[in-house]
Amino acid sequence: DQQVKQNSPSLSVQEGRISILNCDYTNSMFDYFLWYKKYPAEGPTFLISISSIKDKNEDGRFTVFLNKSAKHLSLHIVPSQPGDSAVYFCAASADGGTSYGKLTFGQGTILTVHP
Amino acid sequence: DAGVTQSPTHLIKTRGQQVTLRCSPISGHKSVSWYQQVLGQGPQFIFQYYEKEERGRGNFPDRFSARQFPNYSSELNVNALLLGDSALYLCASSLPGELFFGEGSRLTVL
């Protein structure tokens, strides 16, 4: 039972353009969402998060949008840079972000940004 | 500041053997979680420990066990290894709302 789904295994974008990564979830108890980036041979690195009481959170080039009615969130990267090429994971928590470590992850989307 | 450190980074075992993976959290972090990442999938939650007590367990068989020590470091043990246990095992220490991952231990079971 995949409670967090990233239906696009890969995404290819030109440098300078917008990258949009999508994530859907099925568990209505999820109330805190995070995006992680992972390079080969490294652990996932936290990017940005959003609480279910918000519909948008922005941090520099990264913006996360949450649509609770659709159980959908997306990560926008503008402008995309070659260094953004990595695997991006969407993750969810059912404890308002205070779970101290229990997250449910999606399968990941491989982002490739071409120069 | 040192991040989350894991050892060993790579190891090869044969079916039926046992393995112990080790993790040191970021200084001051009292919670440690373990995740299994199979190739092509996202990390899957195995265990969470907080102040040396198990706070959560994922859908893994009893062959998987863990513990946390007084210095908050942790060990993950897997008994009777199967080929399907081949994966990257990630340890994370946490603050509310954020996990900090180590680089992982890559286990190959032959």
Read off the pLDDT of residues A79-101 as tens digits, 9 standing for 90 and up. Answer: 999 999 999 999 998 876 666 67
- Measured between beta carbons, the chain A residues lying within 8 angstroms of B32 are 101
Top-confidence residue, B18 or B31: B18
Give percent of chain B above pLDDT 90: 82
From the CA of A14, how many Å to the nearest CA of chain B? 24
Examine residue B61 and say whether the peptide bond preceding it is cis (omega within 30 degrees of 0): no
- Which two structure tokens, joined as six digits, stand for B5? 């450190």
Of B43, B55, B97, the CB nearest to A44: B43
Q: Across residues B56-76, what is the average pLDDT?
A: 95
pLDDT in tens, A32-61: 999 999 998 889 999 999 999 999 999 999
A15 secondary structure, DSSP code: T
| Nearest residue to B56 via CA among A87, A88, A57, A94 | A94
- The predicted structure's pLDDT at residue A100: 62
Please check whether residue A4 touches B, CB under 8 A: yes
Q: How far is CA B79 from CA A19, A27, A40, A92, in A?
A: 43, 32, 28, 29
Which residues share a beta bridge with B64?
Answer: B78
The CA-atom distances, in angstroms, between B8 and each of B20, B21, B38, B69 are 9, 7, 18, 18
Looking at residue A48, its pLDDT comes to 94
Residue with tokens 């936290």: A46
**Residue B106's Cα: distance from chain center in Å?**
11
Token digits of residue A2 = 């995949």
